[in-house]
Chains A and B, each alone.
Chain A
Amino acid sequence: EVQLVESGGNLIKPGGSLRLSCVGSGFTFSNAWISWVRQAPGKGLEWVGRIKSKPDGGTTDYAAPVTGRFTISRYDSENKVFLQMNNLKTEDTAIYYCATGLFFDYWGQGTLVTVSS
C-alpha cells in the first residue's frame, strides 16, 4: 500500500524557518517525483514545488510566491523529501501536502503550518 506521511508543521513567527518532511512507503521512492501542495484555510489548492527523481535529473521547480524562500531536497536512502521554508510570511499559513507523480495519484494527510506573531 502506498503511503505518504508529512510531519514538521508548527506555529512559527513571521520571518522564521521550518522544515517539513514527507516519508514514502509502498513504492519505489527513488523513482518518484514528489510535489508539495498547500491549502490555506478555506481556500483552494496551490502547488508549491516539485523535485524530480535523480534518474530524471533530480531538478526542482517552484511556484513564484515561494521561489527564493523555499527549497525542496530528497534523501532517497531514507525515502524522504524535505521542504525547507525560510523567511515565512503570514500568507504561508496552510496545510502542506506532499504528493507523488507527474499528476498526483497519491497524497499524504497533510501537516499544518501556522505563521503568526
Chain B
Amino acid sequence: DIQMTQSPSTLSASIGDRVTITCRASQSISTWLAWYQQKPGHAPNLLIYKASTLQSGVPSRFSGSGSGTEFTLTISSLQPDDFATYYCQHYNSYSPYTFGQGTKVDIK
C-alpha cells in the first residue's frame, strides 16, 4: 500500500503567518491527493482535491500544489479560524486510501 508522510507533525505559527505543510507519497500518485482540516470534536472538512483544486466555499488563502510524490498545502495568511489539524489523503478508485498522520497547527 502507498504510505503518506506529513511534515511537520506540529507547527506553531502566528496570525498572518504564511504556513506550509508537506505531504510525501511512497510512490507516485499523480495528483490523486486531498487535504482536510479537522477541529476538535468535529468531522474533517475537505479543503482541496486533485492536489490543487479548492473545494467550494473554502477561503482562497488555502492552496495546494504538487504532483507525483511531493505535495504542499499553503495557508497564505493564517487566521484565527485556521488553528486545527490538517491531513493529506491519497485516493483513487481501485486501491485502498491512505491518510497522512496529520499536522497540528497551533498558536505560537
Decide if A and B are genuine partners. Answer: yes
From DSSP, what is the main secondary structure of chain B's interface residues?
loop
**Would you give the shortest CB distance from A31 to chain B, in whole angstroms?**
14
Do B99 and A47 touch across chains, with their CB atoms under 8 A apart?
yes
B55 and A104 contacting across the interface, CB-CB below 8 Å = no
Bound Cα distance A37, B38 (Å): 13
A110 to B46, CA, bound (A): 16
Task: Please tell me which one of the listed residues B46, B92, B96 contacts residue A104 in the complex, with CB atoms under 8 A apart.
Answer: B46
The yes or no answer to B93 lying at the interface (CB within 8 A) is: yes
Q: Are A104 and B99 in contact (CB under 8 A)?
A: no
Scoring B91, B93, B96, B97 by chain A CB atoms within 10 A of each residue's CB, the highest score goes to B97
Known A102-B91, A103-B89, A104-B34: A35·B43 in contact at CB below 8 Å: no
A35-B97, A50-B97, A103-B49 known; A97-B43 Cβ under 8 A: yes
Contact B44 A45 (CB under 8 A): yes
Closest chain-A Cβ to B61's Cβ sits at a distance in Å of 20
Bound Cα distance from A55 to B43, whole angstroms: 28
**Which parts of B74-108 form the interface with A (CB within 8 Å)?**
85, 87, 89, 91-93, 95-102
CA distance A35 to B71 in the complex (A): 24
Q: Choose from A52, A61, A102 the contact partner of B96 (Cβ within 8 Å).
A: A61
CB 8 Å contact bits of A19-45 with B (1 = contact, 0 = none):
000000000000000010100000011
In angstroms, Cα B93 to Cα A3, docked, is: 23
CB proximity of B105 to chain A, nearest CB, Å: 14
Question: Considering the chains assembled together, what is the distance between the CA atoms of A63 and B95 in angstroms?
Answer: 9
Distance in Å: Cβ of A90 to nearest Cβ of chain B? 21
By a CB distance below 8 angstroms, the chain B residues around A35 are: 97
CA distance A1 to B99 in the complex (A): 27
- In the complex, given contacts A44-B85, A45-B36, A97-B43, what are 15 additional A-B residue pairs having Cβ atoms less than 8 angstroms apart? A44-B101, A45-B87, A45-B99, A45-B102, A47-B98, A47-B99, A97-B44, A103-B89, A104-B34, A104-B36, A104-B46, A107-B43, A107-B45, A108-B43, A109-B43
7 contacts between A and B (CB under 8 A): A37-B44, A45-B44, A61-B95, A102-B93, A103-B91, A104-B44, A108-B43
